[in-house]
């Protein structure tokens, strides 16, 4: 009997070629690491934070797109495959094609899965009948089309329970739509309902107050501690359940922007690396060092890591240098010395050219990074930062290992 081929070995194997994986790879290359392989099946790389502005009619979809080949750092071996299993005892990752790769250090950055079937009726309703979601690039332009065409009726904006990427996005599109309708003079003819699963609009009090005032200004009905639990696309009806009382209400909509439930990739959730404390299967990671508590040669960051902070690109920007420093310390036989404090940032667009920047840490304390500017208030310069500054910082800074 012929023995199976030996695994292909790499000193560092990175799973995921999105924001987190590319940023870590670029920083490792700048630190002089030579043997890096990156496992990523997609040939397209998206700057996802721009999709809200695409859905709000403020940016073209093409501005968020690069090829994966453009962003892979020079010297990093690109493995165009999809992971299907990980064995941290054997230190191997298996792909859907059956190939096996072994590693000295493993960085898990595969992102998360959008569970479109997690809300009964959502998947078949998407893309027609006024139902859209900015969480898919092909649907973001349809969001704008539906907003632009609407003159009267009910607009419903929903967010699921559980961690989601860019937790402010479900609200931002509601405000952009409302501001557009206000400018067109039809806001008074449109009932806007915003359904949020948390007991407050934002966990940090100063931003909660600002967003509460924004919703009041537009006349938005906010349903807290609630979520959409099913919908009938043909009838244009959605069921919204109040988790405090258990009451379910059927709402008829003319426009629905829905955000799907989200979870870790199944192969990761079923692995020994998943955190037992995470009902969604995210990877266990020390909240400061980003190392796995049981397998110190494994690191995790970004959306796939079970960390008590928001899943944003800004969080990754602070996590990546910490992870790289600690990984390099491990290669040199030193204990991990770098610490991540939970910093994250949510650019909250509240009008066509207005934005406030919510920056905070693990303790939900504001953590402003721009001197002399009060980013807790709506500002025009912050909107220009989001539309033009942050994409440049992303493509020319983060993905190059420079920011």
> Which residues participate in catalysis according to the annotation?
166, 346
Q: Hey, how many other C-beta atoms are within 10 angstroms of the C-beta on 381? A: 12
Q: What is the CA radius of gyration of the chain?
A: 22
CB 71, CB 25: distance < 8 Å? no
CB 352, CB 180: distance < 8 Å? yes
DSSP string, 257-317: E----EE--HHHHTSTTB-TT-TT-PBP--TTT-B-SS-TTEEE-GGGB--SS-B-HHHHH
CB 16, CB 25: distance < 8 Å? no
Phi, psi of 355 (to 5 degrees): -155, 145
DSSP 3-state helix, strand, coil percentages of the chain (rounded to 5)? 30, 25, 45
Q: Which of 162, 242, 231 is nearest to 195 (CA)?
A: 242
The single residue listed with the structure tokens 């495959």 is: 81
Which segments of 154-258 does DSSP mark as H helices, in order? 169-184, 205-218
CB 308, CB 342: distance < 8 Å? yes
Specify which residues 355 forms β-bridges with: 349, 379
Cα–Cα dist 306/323, whole Å:
15
């Amino acid at each position: 009997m012929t023995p199976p081929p030996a695994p292909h070995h790499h000193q560092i194997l990175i799973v995921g070629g999105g924001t987190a994986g590319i940023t870590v790879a670029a920083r490792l290359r700048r630190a002089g690491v030579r043997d890096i392989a990156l496992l990523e099946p997609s040939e397209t790389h998206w700057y996802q934070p721009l999709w809200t502005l695409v859905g709000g009619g403020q940016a073209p979809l093409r501005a968020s797109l690069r090829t994966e080949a453009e962003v892979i750092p020079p010297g990093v071996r690109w493995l165009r495959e999809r992971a299907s299993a990980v064995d941290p005892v054997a230190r191997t990752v298996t792909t859907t094609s059956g190939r096996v790769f072994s590693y000295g250090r493993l960085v898990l950055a595969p992102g998360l899965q959008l569970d479109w079937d997690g809300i009964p009726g959502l998947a078949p309703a998407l893309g027609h009948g006024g139902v859209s979601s900015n969480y898919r690039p092909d649907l973001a332009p349809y969001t704008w089309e539906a907003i632009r065409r609407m003159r009267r009726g009910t607009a419903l904006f929903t967010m699921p329970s559980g961690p989601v990427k860019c937790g402010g996005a479900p609200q931002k599109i509601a405000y952009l739509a409302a501001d557009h309708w206000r400018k067109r003079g039809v806001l008074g003819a449109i009932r806007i309902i915003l359904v949020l699963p948390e007991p407050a609009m934002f966990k940090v009090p100063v931003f909660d107050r600002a967003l509460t005032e924004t919703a009041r200004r537009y006349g938005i009905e906010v349903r807290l501690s609630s979520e959409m639990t099913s919908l009938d696309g043909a009838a244009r009806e959605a069921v919204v359940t109040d988790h405090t009382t258990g009451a379910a209400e059927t709402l008829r909509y003319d426009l629905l922007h829905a955000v799907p439930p989200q979870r870790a990739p199944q192969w990761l959730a079923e692995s020994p690396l998943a955190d037992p404390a995470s009902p969604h299967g995210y990877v266990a990671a020390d909240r400061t060092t980003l190392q796995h508590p049981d397998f110190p040669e494994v690191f995790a960051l970004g959306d796939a890591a079970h960390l008590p902070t928001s899943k944003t690109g800004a969080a990754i920007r602070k996590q990546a240098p910490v992870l790289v420093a600690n990984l390099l310390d491990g290669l040199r036989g030193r204990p991990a010395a770098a610490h991540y404090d939970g910093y994250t940032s949510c650019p909250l667009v509240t009008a066509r050219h207005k934005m406030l920047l919510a920056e905070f840490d693990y303790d939900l304390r504001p953590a402003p990074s721009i001197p002399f500017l009060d980013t807790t208030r709506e500002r025009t310069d912050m909107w220009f930062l989001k539309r033009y500054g942050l994409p440049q910082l992303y493509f020319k800074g983060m993905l190059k290992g420079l920011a």
